[in-house]
Structure 1
Amino acid sequence: MPSGVLRSFLETRLAELEEQGLGNSIEPLEGPNGPVITINGKSFINLSSNNYLGLATDERIIEAGIQAMRIYGAGAGAVRTINGTMTLHAELEEKLAAFKGTEAAIAYQSGFNCNMAAISAVMDQHDAILSDELNHASIIDGCRLSKAKIIRYRHSDMDDLNRKAKEAVESGLFAKVMVITDGVFSMDGDVAKLPDIVDIAERYGLITYVDDAHGSGVLGKGAGTVKHFGLSERIDFQIGTLSKAIGVVGGYVAGTKPLIDWLKVRSRPFLFSTSLPPAAVASCIASIDILRNSTEAYERLWDNANYFKRGLTELGFDIGASETPITPCIIGDEKKTQRFSRILYREGVYAKAIVFPTVPLGTGRVRNMPTAAHTREMLDRALEIYAAAKRELEREDAG
């Protein structure tokens, strides 16, 4: 039996979260995570998936995984440095490097693992990291693990970054200074000011690190935010995930060959965790081949995203500063946000409420992710439901 102290702590804290509108429930899908999903026998238009290009359910990707499993088995069987590296892993890393325009790449078990691995392998207690205040949780944890001095700069505020970079470098206190940013910020959909960040980094001799989890497959004709700005030769670390636009699972770091060689001998998730299973690796390879050979899904994604954004704006929703398919409907109050999401759910739209601590208090939102797989009819129906939900919420507030 759990200790009474633990049970009391958990029950009290969970009740507090529910009271504050910060609770969360997990509802298993009864099928694939496509543009329409099924939960408890009911169908929903799905606006909460990161499956940007619809590749998670693409038959070519599925078939590649099936064939690899038949040849290589279900699991890799070991860490990469013992005998868990298969020819498939090497092929994936070669294709990732070509995709990102770098000398080399290294694959990890998740995008979260990438940030835990790469930051702490290069930065330590003698260093400093300049981190955008809205960077992803995995960057925050990776920075903490490194034991470097963490200096937060205001979100996309280049004057603040310049001032803090100058202070950090001129202080003489740090052996190395790194600047870290998301390429696309996952809660607001805005894009990092990479050209300005690179100029500041080169002015002060900073290491540059871009987590492009939500940019790869979405910007730069699919190659990502760094390629979008033409900065492939000026960024030290390009981080990406294989679970969003790529549609499978895993993550990677792309950069120079010496950087990747260092990560292979010093990044702990690579050294101490079993490597990606063969089926996932083969599916990733097939997905990257599709992205490099065709922009059809990429263009369809943007057509759908722009259409849905216009529709929400015309309905009077605040979609913030989004520049990408990530489209928040910012409600504000946490309980009101949860209520709005429940109305959408009741009417057949699955769009989860995003509240603190994922976003700051008072900025609750329903985050929408239109994908290449949505039809115009699906999006039109979703907009109708949004309009009705908005009216219902306004009536409730008025009453």
Structure 2
Amino acid sequence: METVVTTATIAAAAVSPSPTPFTTQHLAGEQILSKLHAIASSAAYWGEKLPGSAVVKRYIVSSHQNDPVRTIFELLFFLFAVRYFVASRYSTSNPHHVKFTEADIDELVAEWEPEPLVPKTTVLEELDIGSIPLIHGESGPVVDVESARVGHVKRATNLASTDFLGWARDPVIKERAVQIIREYGVGSCGPPGFYGNQDIHVKCERDLARFCNSESAILYAQAFNTMSSVIPSFMKRGDIVIADDRVATSTQKGLQVSRVTLRWYKHNDMEDLARVLAKTNHEFRKAPLTKRFIVTEGLFENTGDLCNLPEIIKLKYQFKYRLLLDESLSFGLVGSTGRGVLEHFQENGHPELSRQQIELTAGSMAIAFSSAGGFVAGSDAAVEHQRIGSNAVTFSASMPGYLAAASSQAIERLEEDNSRVVKLRENTTHFRTFLEKQLQAARVLGSVVEFVSSPQSPHILIKLSDDFRPETLTSFVAAEELLQQIVDLCLAEGVLITRHKRVPTHEIIALESMLRIEVSASLSTQQLDESASIIAGVVKSISSA
């Protein structure tokens, strides 16, 4: 039977459309969205019934409006947390792991050698440890000392102590310390920002500020941590520091921790400092403006000479830098009243200099006053910043109160009478002159040893001459051993001196081997003369051996 397709049939088919795949997918999508909307509505309804849901909703809405990026990160963090908690736990029972027999385990255990908890001591470390002198009783100008390399010496003139002014044996200061111990105890047991600061600490800070002619001062519990903490509190990554290449280890550590852009200039070379400042400013002329500091010392621990403070201040203003001056060794020793290298230059042709031209001045009370701790003097703003921005202040317990009181007492004594500083200067000049004469008479000055420190420094450093090169002097350790022999022979003759010790692995720039002699105001002229003669005789005997 034939099917007859008429025009009407075709028209009817065109008018009544049949379902297409697109229409089916569209309807399915609408059904899914409808179900999702119903689920979301139900969740919102029941969510509003939960306690605190309004607070959470308000937080999400306000957070998204203020910072949409934060909402995305919080969502990703939420998904990560869900994924972490629903993930399967790590298991050590992996069937693919190699299984050992008891014999295999015993063999591996027998072959295993544990790493030492600490590395083996080096030859230099063994030399340092074996040469530490043991003092019996109270330290002073004459000590009862014992050495593993020399033996027991009942009376030795002490030229190894940094008690330059002799405050350690002062009866007035000792009595003041005993009084504070009875009233306050022996420790503060807390950081200064919490409950560690007592009225005696505040008084000591005021005394230091007055003595330094600065607006304010802040105490540090440890002298070594002063520079290593004040530097990173003011200088961060991106800041620029120009430093003398002979600064002490504590300053080097502070520069490393701060991660600043560091440039060195040759020790006390003002032409090189000007060159480095100009080059650095040109190099960073298009960089964002950051803090820029010159870092140096008043009396250098590693060289025993004074910085050229007038020229440094001139260059600081010329190139627009700030100045951090470490007077740990010069404070209390240099200047007619012990106010440091600034006072020294004020008295020697530069009265225009002032403490306000130095942004930060660091110092030590462990050297000048035979106490402990350090300080930083500067403007009120600079000091207050350190109270919450310096790690050694924020996280370390404040120094014991009796040490702060002893320092205050020493400052008051210095302000009333500077005779100890004058005596120290006289002893330094006399001993240095007499020692030079003795070394020249022994024909060893210049050919065997030579002075590194400046004539006015009570911190005397002597190194082996470049012309003195015996066959045994083949390394740094050999030079240290030779100097230690000089120290031992001097001790055997009744004079206690030492080597300029440091940890080479912690020094950024290598230093030379040197003898270290500390002159004290407590020593008599006779003691100084006898000591100088013994040192010169020992050096001569070593050179001819």
TM-score range, shorter chain: over 0.9
Match of residue 373 from structure 1: 522
Greater Cα shift, 88-97 or 358-367: 358-367
User: Match for residue 224 of structure 1?
Assistant: 340
1:320 maps onto 2:452 in alignment: yes
Higher relative contact order (CA 8 A, sep 6+): 1
Equivalent of residue 408 in structure 2, options 285, 290, 293 = 285
**Closer, same or farther in 2 for the Cα pair 1:264/1:61, shift >3 Å?**
same
Counterpart selection for 1:200 from 310, 315, 319: 315
- Shift in Å, 1:16: 6.1
Is the Cα contact below 8 Å between 1:334 and 1:361 reproduced in 2? no
Counterpart selection for 1:35 from 141, 151, 160: 141
Question: Closer, same or farther in 2 for the Cα pair 1:4/1:271, shift >3 Å?
Answer: same
Equivalent in the alignment of 2:489: 343
Identity of aligned residues (%): 25
Answer whether contact 1:117 1:142 (CA < 8 A) is retained: yes
Task: Flag as ranges the 4+ runs of structure 1 deviating above 6 A.
Answer: 358-362
Aligned to 1:330, the other structure's residue is in SS state strand
Q: 2:172 corresponds to which letter in structure 1?
A: R
Kindly state the Cα deviation for residue 24 of structure 1 after the two structures are TM-superposed: 5.7
* Secondary structure in structure 1 of the residue aligned to 2:156: strand
Q: Which moved more, 1:248-257 or 1:158-167?
A: 158-167
1:70 correspondence with 2:179: no
Alignment length (residue pairs): 390
Q: Supply the AA of the counterpart residue of 1:337.
A: L
- Tell me the amino acid that sits aligned with residue 310 of structure 1: T
- 1:394 maps to what in 2? 543
Say if 1:334 and 1:363, in contact at 8 Å, map to a contact too. Answer: no
Among candidates 172, 175, 179, match of residue 294 of structure 2:
179
Ranges in structure 2 where 5+ consecutive residues have no aligned partner = 1-112, 147-151, 346-352, 440-444, 466-478
The equivalent residue for 1:58 is 170
Aligned: 1:191 with 2:306:
yes
Q: CA RMSD in A?
A: 2.0
Q: Please list the CA deviations of residues 274-303 of structure 1 after superposition, one character each: whole Å capped at 9, or x if unmatched.
A: 101111111111011111111100011011
Look up the SS of the partner of 2:355 in the other structure: coil
Quote the offset at 1:191 in angstroms. 0.2
Moved more, 377-386 or 37-46: 37-46
Residues 14 and 23 of structure 1 are in contact (CA less than 8 Å); yes or no, is this contact kept in structure 2? no
Task: Classify the secondary structure of the residue corresponding to 2:515.
Answer: strand
**CA–CA distance in structure 2, aligned partners of residues 355 and 24 of structure 1:** 13
SS at match of 1:83: helix
Partner Cα distance (1:70, 1:289) in 2: 21
Change (3 A) 1:28 1:17: closer
Q: Which residue of 1 aligns with 2:357?
A: 234
For residues 61-107 of structure 1, the C-alpha deviation after alignment (integer angstroms, 9 at most, x for no partner) is: 11111001111111112111111110001000000000001000000
Q: Distance in 2 between matches of 1:257 and 1:180?
A: 20
Does 2:325 match 1:214?
A: no
Alignment partners' CA distance in 1, 2:263 and 2:484: 33
For the residue of structure 1 that corresponds to 2:194, the secondary structure is: coil
Which deviates the most, 99-108 or 320-329?
Answer: 320-329
Q: TM-score, normalised by structure 1?
A: 0.93
Q: How far did 1:395 drift?
A: 2.5
- Going from structure 1 to structure 2, the CA distance change for 1:340 and 1:69 (only over 3 Å counts) comes to same
Normalised to the residue count of structure 2, the TM-score between the two structures is 0.68
